[in-house]
C-alpha cells in the first residue's frame, strides 16, 4: 500500500512590505509551521496515473480523493499572511507531480504558481516560491513582468515570535490601495520612507552575512515599525501592543499588509526572553507562536 506524505512550510515577510509594490526589495522567510498532506492508496482500487500537464486544484483534489485516502493537517494559521494557501498549493502540486514522476522544485513551484493564480488572481509568486524552496527569499518586482526572486545562500536559523494582533478589517488589496492613494498626494515623502525601508531590508542582508550585530538588526526592526506606522498601515491597537513589547525589551513590527481600523494581523517579534513575552501574550489573551526562520521547503516522504 503506497503512502505519501508531503509537508510544506508557511512564510513570513521579514522586511519590505508595501515598499515591494514599488520595486523595492522584500525579504521573506519560510517558517517552521507546516501543512502536511498525506495520501494512503485505497487498497481496493487500482490507482490510475494522472495525465493532465497543467491541472487545476479542483482536478488534483478530485484525482487524489478518487485514488487515495487524503488527510490534511496544518499548523499555519489561515488568513494571516503566513502563506497557508501557498503551502496547500505547493503540497497539491508536489503530490500530483510526484505521482507522474520525480518532479524538480522548479516543476513544483511552476505548478503551484498556476494553482495560486487561479485562486488569487494576481499573486506575486513569492509565497509559493518560499514554500517550495524554503530558507530566505529575496524578492524584487523590477517590472510588472519581471518579478525577481532569489534564494539567499544562508542557513542561519533565527528564533522569533508571531503574535496575532487581530484580524484586520481591511484586505491586503485595500491596504495596498490605501498606501497608493496617500502616496499620490505626497510622492516625495513616500519615496523617502520606501528608501529607508530598503535600507532596513539591506541591514537584514548584512545581518545574514554576519556583518552587523543582532542589536543593529533589532534597532532596524524598530525603525521598520516606525516607517510602517508613517505609511498608516499600523492600527492604534497594534501600535499600542508594539509599544508595550518595545517597553519590555522586544522589537516588533507588523508582517504583511497590516490594517488600520482594527487589528493589523500578525506581529513579528524578536525578544531574548521567551518567558517574559509569553506572559505578556497571556495577559493580553493573544495567541502567540514561537517560530524559527529559515525553515526548509517542501518535503516529500
Residue ranges binding its own copies (CB under 8 A): 23, 25, 138, 140, 142-146, 148, 150, 152, 202, 205-206, 209
In whole angstroms, the minimum distance from the beta carbon of 122 to its own copies comes to 16
Of 188 and 275, which has the nearer Cβ to its own copies?
188
Output b/e per residue, 193-215; b: 16+ Cβ within 10 A: bbebbbebbebbbebbeeebeee
- As a whole number of Å, the CA-based R_g of the chain is 20
| Comparison of 212 and 299: residue with beta carbon closer to its own copies | 212
Maximum Cα–Cα distance for the chain, whole Å? Answer: 67
Residues 232 and 182 sit within 8 Å (Cβ to Cβ): yes
Minimum distance from CB of 153 to its own copies (Å)?
A: 8
**Rounded to the nearest whole angstrom, what is the least distance from the CB of residue 212 to its own copies in the complex?**
12
The phi and psi torsions of 297 (rounded to 5 degrees) equal: -75, -155
| Residue written as grid cell 507522474 | 100
Residue 82 Cβ vs its own copies, minimum distance, rounded to whole Å = 25
The one-character DSSP state at 19 is G
Of the pair 22, 59, the CB lying nearest its own copies is at: 22
Shortest spacing between CB 35 and its own copies, in angstroms: 30
Residue (98 or 199) nearer to its own copies, CB: 199
Cβ proximity to its own copies: between 147 and 284 the closer is: 147
Q: Which is nearer to its own copies, 1 or 146 (CB)?
A: 146
Q: What are phi and psi of 296, to 5 degrees?
A: -75, 160
The CB-of-186 to its own copies minimum distance in angstroms stands at 17
Distance of CA 135 to the CA centre of its chain: 11
- Which residue in this structure is represented by grid cell 509551521? 33
**Residue 3, Ramachandran bin (φ over 0: left; ψ between -120 and 50: alpha; else beta):** beta
- In angstroms, what is the minimal distance from the CB of 116 to its own copies? 20
d(CA 237, CA 267): 12
Nearer to its own copies, 158 or 206 (CB): 206
Residue 86 — left, alpha, or beta (φ > 0 → left; ψ -120 to 50 → alpha)? Answer: alpha
Amino acid at each position: 500500500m503506497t503512502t505519501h506524505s508531503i509537508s510544506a512550510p508557511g512564510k513570513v515577510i521579514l522586511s519590505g512590505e508595501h515598499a515591494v509594490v514599488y520595486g523595492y526589495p522584500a525579504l521573506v522567510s519560510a517558517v517552521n509551521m507546516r501543512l502536511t498532506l498525506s495520501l494512503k492508496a485505497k487498497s481496493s482500487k487500482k490507482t490510475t496515473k494522472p495525465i493532465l500537464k497543467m491541472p487545476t486544484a479542483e482536478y488534483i483534489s478530485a484525482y487524489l480523493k478518487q485514488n487515495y485516502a487524503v488527510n490534511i493537517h496544518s499548523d499555519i494559521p489561515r488568513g494571516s499572511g503566513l502563506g497557508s494557501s501557498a503551502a496547500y498549493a505547493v503540497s497539491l502540486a508536489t503530490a500530483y507531480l510526484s505521482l507522474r514522476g520525480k518532479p524538480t522544485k522548479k516543476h513544483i513551484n511552476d505548478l503551484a504558481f498556476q494553482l495560486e493564480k487561479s485562486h488569487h488572481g494576481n499573486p506575486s509568486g513569492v509565497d509559493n516560491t518560499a514554500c517550495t524552496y524554503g530558507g530566505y527569499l529575496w524578492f524584487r518586482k523590477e517590472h510588472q513582468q519581471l518579478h525577481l526572486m532569489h534564494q539567499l545562500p544562508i542557513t542561519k536559523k533565527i528564533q522569533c515570535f508571531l503574535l496575532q494582533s487581530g484580524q484586520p478589517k481591511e484586505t491586503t488589496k485595500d491596504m495596498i490601495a490605501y498606501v497608493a492613494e496617500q502616496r499620490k498626494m505626497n510622492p516625495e515623502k513616500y519615496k523617502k520612507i520606501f528608501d529607508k525601508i530598503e535600507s532596513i531590508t539591506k541591514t537584514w542582508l548584512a545581518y545574514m552575512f554576519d556583518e552587523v550585530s543582532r542589536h543593529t538588526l533589532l534597532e532596524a526592526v524598530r525603525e521598520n515599525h516606525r516607517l510602517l506606522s508613517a505609511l498608516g498601515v499600523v492600527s492604534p491597537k497594534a501600535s499600542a501592543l508594539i509599544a508595550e513589547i518595545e517597553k519590555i525589551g522586544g522589537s516588533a513590527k507588523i508582517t504583511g499588509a497590516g490594517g488600520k481600523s482594527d487589528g493589523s494581523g500578525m506581529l513579528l517579534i524578536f525578544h531574548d526572553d521567551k518567558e517574559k513575552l509569553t506572559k505578556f501574550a497571556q495577559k493580553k489573551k493573544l495567541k502567540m507562536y514561537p517560530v524559527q526562520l529559515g525553515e526548509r521547503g517542501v518535503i516529500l516522504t
